[in-house]
Amino acid sequence: MCARGRPFHGTAPGAVGGASFKILTATATATATARGRVQGIAQEEVPALRALIAAEARRFPRLGRAWREQGPERFAEPLAAALRACPELEIPDRDVAIIQFYALVLYPHVVHSPYGDRLPPAEQLIERGVDMFLEYYRNGWRESAARTWGNPADSDGRPPRTHRLPETTQGPDPLSRIRPLTWCFSCRGGGI
């Protein structure tokens, strides 16, 4: 199985202590990527810097782009490459999957640290988030969505809508691309 045993051949830039690594499984790559991101976010200066950049990004768009390129986007490619190397992972939208991955492993650090709560680089959160993410996509997100939402008639795996406005007035549902993430919280007893 790729996520646990088959090696990923590639180079992931500096996810752990600035070192590159060449042969890793998807689990190891995802875990190393999560650790690198959590270690970066957990630094004392980072929440203040993030707040400053967020406040000034409208006035200085290049600042916001530079921050993304040196942060989230730098860590996304090694993870995306590892996921591509695993044919048994069914991932319909890799960009959304990477956002979901970050939501599972970074959320506590991004949300709590700006308010003064210091969270350690929580290995348990990282391991469970990686396992939850890979399990969801390894077993096929459609099957997981069907278990969660009661096997909707449409084949796209999204929950049935209780109301629908005409597409011309509502437009496509912007949340439809991230709904599979709700499975992670509803099927695991709500806690991480």
Share of the chain above pLDDT 70, in %: 56
Domain count, the chain: 1
In a domain, 2, yes or no: no
pLDDT above 80: residue 13 = no
In a domain, 27, yes or no: yes
Q: What is the CATH number of the domain that holds 82?
A: 1.10.357.10
Q: Which of 1-15, 46-60, 72-86 has the least mean pLDDT?
A: 1-15
In a domain, 71, yes or no: yes
In a domain, 138, yes or no: yes
Angle at CA of residue 112, ends 26 and 101, nearest 5°: 20
Phi and psi angles of residue 77, each rounded to the nearest 5 degrees, phi first:
-65, -45
In a domain, 1, yes or no: no
In a domain, 34, yes or no: yes
Give the per-residue pLDDT at 21. Answer: 38
Domain that holds residue 113: 8-160+174-186
Confidence grade of residue 61 (pLDDT, cut at 50, 70, 90): very high
Q: Which residue has the tokens 């690198």?
A: 36
Q: CA-to-CA distance for 48 and 67, rounded, in angstroms?
A: 13
Pair 50, 106: CB distance under 8 Å: no
Give the per-residue pLDDT at 156. Answer: 56
In a domain, 181, yes or no: yes
- Residue 107: which of 33, 183, 37 has the closest Cα? 37
In a domain, 168, yes or no: no
